Structure formats: structure tokens, C-alpha cells
């Protein structure tokens, strides 16, 4: 790695630690952040929960100027701004809910540099007025969230995204970066082309979500099956998806009758009702949302522990999106689909009104989904291969197939051979339906006309239902023993199929109705996520989190994610110093919540006779407190010059870096050297005034401090004094 990227990496890491309390990068995050810092256009594809937002939020803080983020939904923007504010990062969103006064304030904050990240809906961003306004400020880069909406080939095309090419035309020197969770190669190319990106960096992460445990069970007693999943997650958040509104209503009602806190969500409810039910879910006043597909866009809730599909989704894209709402925090989560071929018929009827091409595409998507449901291959592998990727691991250890909870037919070889023989006997000239009828001994007119009732394979499977035989044929296709050929999907026996006929290989075929076993699924590989966690403390910290969230009017998961709470309930920190070491605790959150959480932990531990500070500080503290190794020469030089008392401007000239970079080096220097006196860089008078302002306004958001000081003290100076003050108090 060259020295520049080493310095860049340190700068990004320092920012991540300070604001988010994170210690390392997720896959592709560093590359994506570097592209932003270096003004190379990029298209970044990462699965849900992969950490796309940080890819542009962290560099936004390391670059000078305003980062402009286009995002399609008001709720998403609000969520992001709330989360940033909770971390002490100045951000805002402009949308139809702002009053004129708020809008003026945001514009003033942008001009003064108080806001570094601005969220906008695409149509607002591209309005003449906004483009004119942005031309007058220093825009550091543009980020396009949910950028698959740009492409007609994507599953959620939005015409307003089409005009995004105006950004490159209006701001030729400014980087444009696109982010999405679902994009085939065709969609990626289309995004780059529509945006007019120049030689963009294409960063495509794995589509696999290893923390999700997939299970597909045949629907039998629907409510009991749903209840069974919920019973494994008491007091945890989950979503139950249904196809019809009536099912949403009845399941929600039944759940409440058995004491589960559940609320409905569908397009037939009033806007207010929908908004309040969604809010109750986000704020954790209800555990379960029972919903149609209308629910989910714009929900960033990170701690959804399970998603049940009480009815089939309409495509694998939809399934990936809907099930993907589970486990965004990277902790284990369960995705259960109750499969019924009747749903397939329902969807076919519902999609039957689509115009020609769209209808064909919708039917193909449905078939792919059906194939996935009845398949006997690893679910993770099937999903990623649908999106054009290979799964690296041999076995995922997180699906019903790999964990062996799918109930398989015992003598699958003989069964498979019977089916393949029939296909050969009918001359490999017919599709699955016809062959299934022959095998089941049907008196269908066409079977009789063709005299297929005279074949030796006629009625070989007369004790099985037509539906089961159709399913086995699909499974044999999935395992490449059969291939569908030509316009009429005629079945042919493949070379692997010949091996099966010779008894050299073993197929996997499922029992028709037996995969709906009521037992709990085997634990997936991430069982250690709970290791060492005191569950009682975790629950009581969840309550404290809820109280704090309600008081601040923000979603509970924005206060702290579940993984942070588990770490707290594992390490049980009793001091702020130790609390600060928990993943997800940045400086602002330590200031805002440290006192209350450590006190709560100490009280709980005393009551339950548990030791506090369960892990040795030395061990935990090492990564964070150690000064960065391999400092870049620029950073080292800056540190030497800081200790000689040189000004930011002088140092920027000497080391050839932007003043904003040197500014971030200085904050790092102050923290690492634990300096308590800022007067080498600000006057004594300024220091005193800022300290007084911090005392009055708190050390959280900078804007109130800036305003308290009549906008007379620049933000850089406020940050320096705040950093020294923080050292004095820790």
C-alpha cells in the first residue's frame, strides 16, 4: 500500500472511531471511501446492511465542502439525519416537510459550513433553483442512494431519477457516486451510463447475507407456523408479510388475541394509521408488523430479528429485498417462507393484467421463485447465483437445506429413475405437466390420444399427487438431471441424468408435505453472537434504550444498535473510559448516554451479584488507545509541527495538504496527545467563550454552540476547544 493510501486510511478510520465508534471497515468500504476522497466516480453495490451509508458519510467529513445525497424517500432521509445527528455530525435534509424558516436556516448553515451533509429528493435536487444554489456553494461530491431507481431494468424505476445526468453536466469537476443493494450487471452499466459517469470505479460486493438463516416450509397450519417462529423471538422485532390485506388484518388480530403485540400495515389503511403503526414498530412499542409489500421501503430499522413470508413473494428480487430487512445489524436473523403452490396461482392471476412483455417477465420471475422454493440446493447459493455470483463457502450452514432440516425422500434414486425413464419413454418431446400426468396414470384426453397409457412408465407414481410429481421434476431440473429446452420447455435427460439412471449419483428430493416441521431450526453458525452476554442485562438495557429514544424522539436503534447492547451486556463497562470502548459508541454518544448506561449497568450488576468490567481493559483497550502504527509521512510531519506550535495554515503549506485535512490531523493530535489546553491554536478569550458556550449548550451538536457565540467563532476553533475539553473530562 502506498503512503498516500495509508494516510487516507488512517484519516478515515480516525473519523469512523470518533463519530461512530467503529474499529474497522466492512468489505469494500475502504475502496468506496477512497473513490469518494479521490473524486473518482463510482458505482457501489452492497447488500442491505453492508454499510453503504458510511461509504459516503465518512469521506463527507474528511473532505471540505458540502456532500449532497439524493435519496428517494422522506422517511429514509429523516432516519439518516437523525442517526448522523445522534453521532454528533451536522447534517440536514430538505424536503416538502420543511417550513420556509427551516429552509432559510439550512441554506445559511450550508453557506457558513455548519452543515457538511445534505439529503435531498432527486426532483428537488434537480430543480433549477437548487442547482443554482448549489453552484454557489462548495459541493464536495454527489451521492445517489437507491440508485437502481435510475434504471428501467431495475425493479423500482423512478422517472425523476432519469434526469440525474444533469449533475455531471452542471458540475463537471465534482465526483458522482451511485449506491444500491440490488443491481445486475445490466443495471450497473445502465446506472453509470445514465449518470454520465467517467470511467467509474465498479465496486460490487457479495450479495450473500451470511447472518440470515433461510428456511422454506410447506404451508400447513399457517397461524401456528407463524406463531412458532415468533415464539423463538420473545419481545424482539419481526415482520410478517402477506399477499392480501384481509390476511394482514386477520393475522394481526389473531396475534394480539394470543398476547403478541402486532399491528397491521397495508395500502388500505389511512396515511395516518400507516404512519403511526410504522412509528410504533420503529419505536419498539409493538414487536410485530403484519404487512403487505407496501411496508418496508424507507425502513432502516437495524434489529429486525425475523421476517416471515406467510404468503409467497412475487419474485426473487422481492424476496431478497423483503427478507433482507432482517438482520441489517449483522447479527443472526431468521427468514421463514411458508410455501404454497396456491400462492403461485394467486400471483399469476394478479399479474395477468400486465401488458405483454411485462407479463412475460413477471411470469419468468415467478417461475424462478417457485424453483427456489421447491429446490433442494443451498438457499444462499441459489440466491447469489440468481444475481450472477458464486457462493465461496461449500456449505452456508445457515439454511434448511445445509442444516439438514429439509425432509428428504429416502429412496430418491429409484424415484428419480422412474421419472427420468418416463421422460425417455415419451421421447423427450413433452413438458413437465404431461410427463407428470403419465406418471400419475391420468385419464387426460391427450395422454390417451397419444397412447401414453400403453407405456411401461404409465401410472408408476399413481399413489402420489400430480403436484408432488411436478415438484420432483422441478427439483431434478434444479439439480441438472433434466433440462427444459426450447419454447415449449420440453424435458431432456442430461448427461448427469444418465448417471442417475445408472445409479451412480444420488438426487435430493423432498417429501411432499413434510418440510413443515414444527421443531426449532438447528442453530446456525453464528450462535456465538450471544456468547458471554447476560440476557437479563441485555433486556434491561433495551428498556433503557427505549426510554432514551422516546425522550429524544428518535428510533431506539439510532440510540444504540443491538450489537452495541449485546457488547455492553457482555463487557458490562462501569466507567466512561470503558464504555467508550464498546463498538458503536462514538464520542457524542458517550457524552449523551455514557453516564446513564454505565450507572444502569453498575446497578444491575450489583443487584444480580455480577462482576462489572467483565473483560480486562488492557485487552479491550488495545486497539483503540494505541497510537496509529505506520503513520503517513504527512501525518507524522504535521504532528511534529503541531508540537512546535505552528498554525494550520502554515502546516498546510509545508506538508502540501488542504487546510481541512490538517484540521482533522490536529483533532487527532489533540486526542492522542491528550492535550487539555487549546491556546496554541485559539486565543485565551475564544477558548473561554467556547467553554462557556459548551457548558450552556452541551457538547453535542456544534450549531447551537456556534449560534450561542453569535456566529463569531469559526467551527474549526470550536472543535479544537471541544476536543481539549473532552480530554479534561475523561
Return the range that interacts with ligand ADP (CB under 6 A); candidates 42-50, 215-223, 287-295, 633-641.
Answer: 42-50
Cell 432514551 sits at which residue?
A: 548
Return the range that interacts with ligand ADP (CB under 6 A); candidates 23-31, 182-190, 409-417, 548-556.
Answer: 23-31
Residue 419 grid cell: 421419472
Cα end-to-end span (Å), the chain: 35
* Contacting residue, 34, 37, 50, 564, with ligand ADP by CB under 6 A: 50
# binding residues, ligand ADP (CB under 6 A):
18
Residue 580 grid cell: 467508550
* Contacting residue, 46, 60, 187, 648, with ligand ADP by CB under 6 A: 46
Looking only at the bridges linking them, the beta strands covering 304-309 and 237-241 are: parallel
Q: Which residues contact 417 (CB under 8 A, 6 or more apart)?
A: 500, 501, 503
Instruction: Give yes or no for residue 22 binding ligand ADP (CB under 6 A).
Output: yes
| Minimum distance of ligand ADP from residue 389's CB (angstroms) | 17
Instruction: Give yes or no for residue 21 binding ligand ADP (CB under 6 A).
Output: no
Instruction: Give yes or no for residue 303 binding ligand ADP (CB under 6 A).
Output: no
3-state secondary structure 251-303: HHHHHHHCCCCEEEECCCCCHHHHHHHHHHHHCCCCCEEEECCCCCCCCCCCC
Residue nearest ligand ADP, Cβ-based? 51
| Minimum distance of ligand ADP from residue 191's CB (angstroms) | 16
| Minimum distance of ligand ADP from residue 182's CB (angstroms) | 11
Tally of CB atoms within 10 A around 511 = 13
* Contacting residue, 8, 11, 48, 116, with ligand ADP by CB under 6 A: 48
* Contacting residue, 8, 116, 286, 302, with ligand ADP by CB under 6 A: 302
* Contacting residue, 8, 12, 13, 25, with ligand ADP by CB under 6 A: 25
**CB 666, CB 642: distance < 8 Å:** yes
Residue 161 grid cell: 431519477
Which CA distances in Å does 82 have to 87, 90, 451, 675? 9, 10, 71, 31
Radius of gyration for the alpha carbons in the chain, expressed in angstroms and rounded:
29
Q: Give the x-and-dash track for 529-568 against ligand ADP (CB under 6 A).
A: --------------------------------x-------
* Contacting residue, 14, 17, 41, 51, with ligand ADP by CB under 6 A: 51
Question: Please, which residue, 22 or 241, has the CB nearer to ligand ADP?
Answer: 22
Question: Please, which residue, 16 or 252, has the CB nearer to ligand ADP?
Answer: 16
Helices first, then strands: H and E counts in the chain: 33, 15
Instruction: Give yes or no for residue 27 binding ligand ADP (CB under 6 A).
Output: no
| Minimum distance of ligand ADP from residue 49's CB (angstroms) | 5
| Minimum distance of ligand ADP from residue 107's CB (angstroms) | 27
Element (H, E) at 107: helix 100-112
For residue 243, give the nearest of 338, 103, 368, 109 by alpha carbon: 338
HSE (CB half, 13 Å, CA atoms) of 194? 25
Residue 76 grid cell: 429514509
Return the range that interacts with ligand ADP (CB under 6 A); candidates 24-32, 199-207, 225-233, 685-693.
Answer: 24-32
HSE (CB half, 13 Å, CA atoms) of 33? 28
Instruction: Give yes or no for residue 581 binding ligand ADP (CB under 6 A).
Output: no
Q: Which residues contact 625 (CB under 8 A, 6 or more apart)?
A: none
Element (H, E) at 323: helix 316-323
Which residues on neighbouring strands pair with residue 43, listed in sequence order?
178, 202
**CB 559, CB 86: distance < 8 Å:** yes
Question: Please, which residue, 71 or 376, has the CB nearer to ligand ADP?
Answer: 71
Instruction: Give yes or no for residue 49 binding ligand ADP (CB under 6 A).
Output: yes
* Contacting residue, 5, 26, 371, 672, with ligand ADP by CB under 6 A: 26
Instruction: Give yes or no for residue 687 binding ligand ADP (CB under 6 A).
Output: no
Q: What is the footprint of ligand ADP within residues 116-135 (CB under 6 A)?
A: none
Q: Give the x-and-dash track for 322-341 against ligand ADP (CB under 6 A).
A: ------xx------------
CA-to-CA distance for 434 and 577, rounded, in angstroms?
72
| Minimum distance of ligand ADP from residue 379's CB (angstroms) | 20
For residue 226, give the nearest of 294, 304, 303, 311 by alpha carbon: 311
| Minimum distance of ligand ADP from residue 79's CB (angstroms) | 9
Return the range that interacts with ligand ADP (CB under 6 A); candidates 51-59, 398-406, 457-465, 477-485.
Answer: 51-59
3-state secondary structure of 430: coil
* Contacting residue, 32, 33, 44, 54, with ligand ADP by CB under 6 A: 54
Instruction: Give yes or no for residue 78 binding ligand ADP (CB under 6 A).
Output: no
- Residues near ligand ADP, by CB under 6 A: 22, 24-26, 29, 46, 48-54, 300, 302, 328-329, 561
Amino acid at each position: 500500500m502506498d503512503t498516500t493510501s495509508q494516510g487516507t486510511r488512517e484519516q478515515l478510520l480516525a473519523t469512523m472511531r470518533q463519530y461512530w465508534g467503529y474499529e474497522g471497515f466492512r468489505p469494500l468500504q475502504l475502496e468506496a471511501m477512497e473513490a469518494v476522497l479521490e473524486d473518482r466516480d463510482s458505482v457501489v453495490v452492497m447488500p442491505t446492511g453492508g454499510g453503504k451509508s458510511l461509504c459516503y458519510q465518512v469521506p463527507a467529513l474528511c473532505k471540505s465542502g458540502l456532500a449532497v445525497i439524493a435519496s428517494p424517500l422522506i422517511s429514509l432521509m429523516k432516519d439518516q439525519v437523525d442517526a448522523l445527528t445522534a453521532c454528533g455530525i451536522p447534517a440536514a435534509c430538505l424536503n416538502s416537510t420543511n417550513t420556509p424558516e427551516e429552509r432559510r436556516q439550512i441554506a445559511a448553515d450550508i453557506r457558513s459550513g455548519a452543515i457538511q451533509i445534505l439529503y435531498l429528493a432527486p426532483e428537488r435536487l434537480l430543480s433549477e433553483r437548487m442547482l443554482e444554489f448549489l453552484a454557489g456553494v462548495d459541493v464536495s461530491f454527489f451521492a445517489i442512494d437507491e440508485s437502481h431507481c435510475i434504471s428501467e431494468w431495475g425493479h423500482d424505476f423512478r422517472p425523476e431519477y432519469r434526469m440525474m445526468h444533469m449533475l455531471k453536466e452542471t458540475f463537471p469537476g465534482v465526483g458522482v457516486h451511485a449506491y444500491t443493494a440490488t443491481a445486475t450487471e445490466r443495471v450497473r452499466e445502465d446506472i453509470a451510463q445514465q449518470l454520465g459517469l467517467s470511467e467509474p470505479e465498479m465496486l460490487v460486493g457479495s450479495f450473500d447475507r451470511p447472518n440470515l438463516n433461510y428456511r422454506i416450509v410447506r404451508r400447513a397450519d399457517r397461524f401456528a407456523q407463524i406463531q412458532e417462529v415468533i415464539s423463538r423471538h420473545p419481545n424482539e422485532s419481526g415482520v410478517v408479510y402477506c399477499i392480501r390485506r384481509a390476511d394482514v388484518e386477520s393475522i394481526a388480530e389473531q396475534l394480539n388475541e394470543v398476547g403478541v403485540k402486532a399491528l397491521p400495515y397495508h395500502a388500505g389503511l389511512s396515511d395516518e394509521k400507516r404512519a403511526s403503526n410504522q412509528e410504533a414498530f420503529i419505536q419498539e412499542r409493538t414487536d410485530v408488523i403484519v404487512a403487505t409489500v407496501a411496508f418496508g421501503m424507507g425502513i432502516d430499522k437495524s434489529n429486525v430479528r425475523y421476517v416471515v413470508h406467510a404468503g409467497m413473494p412475487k419474485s426473487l428480487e422481492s424476496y431478497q429485498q423483503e427478507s433482507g430487512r432482517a438482520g441489517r445489524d449483522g447479527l443472526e436473523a431468521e427468514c421463514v417462507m411458508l410455501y404454497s403452490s396456491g400462492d403461485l396461482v394467486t400471483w399469476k392471476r394478479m399479474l395477468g393484467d400486465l401488458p405483454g412483455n411485462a407479463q412475460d417477465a413477471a411470469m419468468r420471475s415467478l417461475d424462478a421463485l417457485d424453483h427456489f422454493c421447491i429446490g433442494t440446493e443451498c438457499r444462499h447459493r441459489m440466491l447469489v447465483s440468481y444475481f450472477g455470483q458464486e457462493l465461496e463457502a461449500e456449505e452456508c450452514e445457515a439454511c434448511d437445506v445445509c442444516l439438514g432440516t429439509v425432509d428428504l425422500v429416502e429412496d430418491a434414486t429409484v424415484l428419480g429413475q422412474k421419472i427420468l425413464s418416463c421422460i425417455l419413454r415419451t421421447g423427450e418431446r413433452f413438458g413437465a405437466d404431461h410427463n407428470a400426468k403419465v406418471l400419475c396414470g391420468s385419464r387426460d384426453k391427450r395422454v390417451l390420444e397419444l397412447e401414453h397409457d400403453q407405456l411401461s412408465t404409465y401410472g408408476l407414481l399413481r399413489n402420489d399427487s400430480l403436484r408432488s410429481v411436478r415438484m420432483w421434476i422441478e427439483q431434478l431440473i434444479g439439480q441438472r438431471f433434466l433440462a427444459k429446452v426450447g419454447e415449449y420447455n420440453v424435458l431432456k435427460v442430461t448427461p448427469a441424468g444418465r448417471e442417475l439412471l445408472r445409479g451412480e449419483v444420488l438426487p435430493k428430493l423432498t417429501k411432499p408435505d413434510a418440510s413443515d416441521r414444527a421443531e426449532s431450526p438447528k442453530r446456525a453458525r453464528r450462535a456465538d453472537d450471544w456468547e458471554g452476554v447476560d440476557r437479563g442485562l441485555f433486556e434491561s438495557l433495551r428498556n433503557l434504550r427505549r426510554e432514551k429514544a422516546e425522550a429524544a424522539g428518535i428510533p431506539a436503534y439510532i440510540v444504540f444498535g443491538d450489537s452495541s447492547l449485546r457488547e455492553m451486556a457482555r463487557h458490562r463497562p462501569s466507567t466512561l473510559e470503558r464504555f467508550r470502548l464498546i463498538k458503536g459508541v462514538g464520542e457524542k454518544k458517550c457524552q449523551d448516554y455514557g453516564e446513564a448506561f454505565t450507572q444502569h449497568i453498575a446497578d444491575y450488576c450489583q443487584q444480580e451479584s455480577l462482576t462489572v468490567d467483565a473483560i480486562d481493559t488492557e485487552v479491550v483497550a488495545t486497539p483503540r488507545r494505541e497510537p496509529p502504527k505506520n503513520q503517513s509521512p504527512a501525518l507524522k510531519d504535521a504532528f511534529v509541527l503541531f508540537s512546535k506550535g505552528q498554525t494550520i495554515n502554515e502546516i498546510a503549506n509545508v506538508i502540501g495538504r488542504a487546510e481541512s485535512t490538517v484540521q482533522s490531523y490536529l483533532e487527532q493530535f489533540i486526542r492522542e496527545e491528550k492535550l487539555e489546553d487549546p491556546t496554541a491554536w485559539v486565543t485565551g478569550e475564544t477558548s473561554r467563550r467556547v467553554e462557556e458556550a459548551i457548558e450552556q449548550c452541551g457538547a453535542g451538536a456544534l450549531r447551537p454552540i456556534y449560534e450561542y457565540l453569535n456566529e463569531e467563532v469559526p467551527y474549526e476553533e470550536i472543535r479544537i476547544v471541544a476536543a481539549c475539553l473532552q480530554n479534561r473530562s475523561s
